[in-house]
Amino acid sequence: MNAHSVDLEAAVASPMARGAGLHGTRPLRPYGRGLAALLVAALLPLGGCSIEPWVKPYDRERLADPIMKPARDTLAEKHHEHIYDVREGARGATGVQGGGCGCN
């Protein structure tokens, strides 16, 4: 049951995350750890009880339509992602799987 929390703990406590403060930059406050705990805590109680899906499979036709997918085309999404990655300081949580880009 702790598989998710282990991954996230590893992420938050990675050597890079811990070591970052040694080089004159500000270490992160453990927001990530709190969020991970929140995510897992939100999921666990649901494992013990049986919640009936309130949207039945036959009611999901609209949700399955391509119009509901903002990232319909992998190549085009990758192109946009690369353009933002090269020019902006922020990165991640876009849902687009990126490769190495030599963005420096």
Partner 1 sequence: MAAIDPAARTAARLRYAVPGALRTAMGLASRLAGLLGGLLATGHAAAADLPEDRADLMYHSYTGGGVTATGPALLVRKSIDDAFSLSASYYVDSVSNASIDVVTTASPYHERRTERAAGLDYVYHDALISVAGSNSKEPDYTADSASLDVAQDVFGGMTTVNLGYSRGWDTVGKHGDPAFSDTANHWQYRAGLTQILTPRWLASANLEVVSDAGYLGSPYRAARVFGAAVPETDPRTRSSRALAVRAVGSIGTDSAVRASYRYFWDTWDIRANTVEVGYSQYLQQQRWLVDGYARYYKQSHASFYSNNFTTQLTYMSRNRQLSTFDSVGLGVKGTYSALKVAAHYEIKLNGALERLRFQYSDFTDIRTGRDYSFDATVLELYVSATF
Restricting to residues 51-70, which ones interact with partner 1 according to CB under 8 A?
51-55, 57, 59-60, 62-63, 65-68, 70
# chain residues binding partner 1, by CB under 8 A: 74
Residue 82's nearest CA partner among 63, 62, 97 is 97
**35-62 exposure pattern, b = at least 16 Cβ within 10 A, e = fewer:** ebeeebeeeeeeeeeeeeeeeeeeeeee
Q: Does 41 bind partner 1 (CB under 8 A)?
A: no
Rounded Cα distance between 13 and 3, Å, is 15
What is the contact mask toward partner 1 in residues 64 to 103, using x (rule: CB under 8 A)?
A: -xxxx-x--xxxx-xxx-xxx-xxxxxxxxxx-x-xxxx-
Residues 37/73, Cβ–Cβ less than 8 Å: no
Counting contacts by CB under 8 A, is residue 34 touching partner 1? Answer: no
Report the nearest approach of partner 1 to the CB of residue 85 (Å): 9
Q: Does 7 bind partner 1 (CB under 8 A)?
A: yes
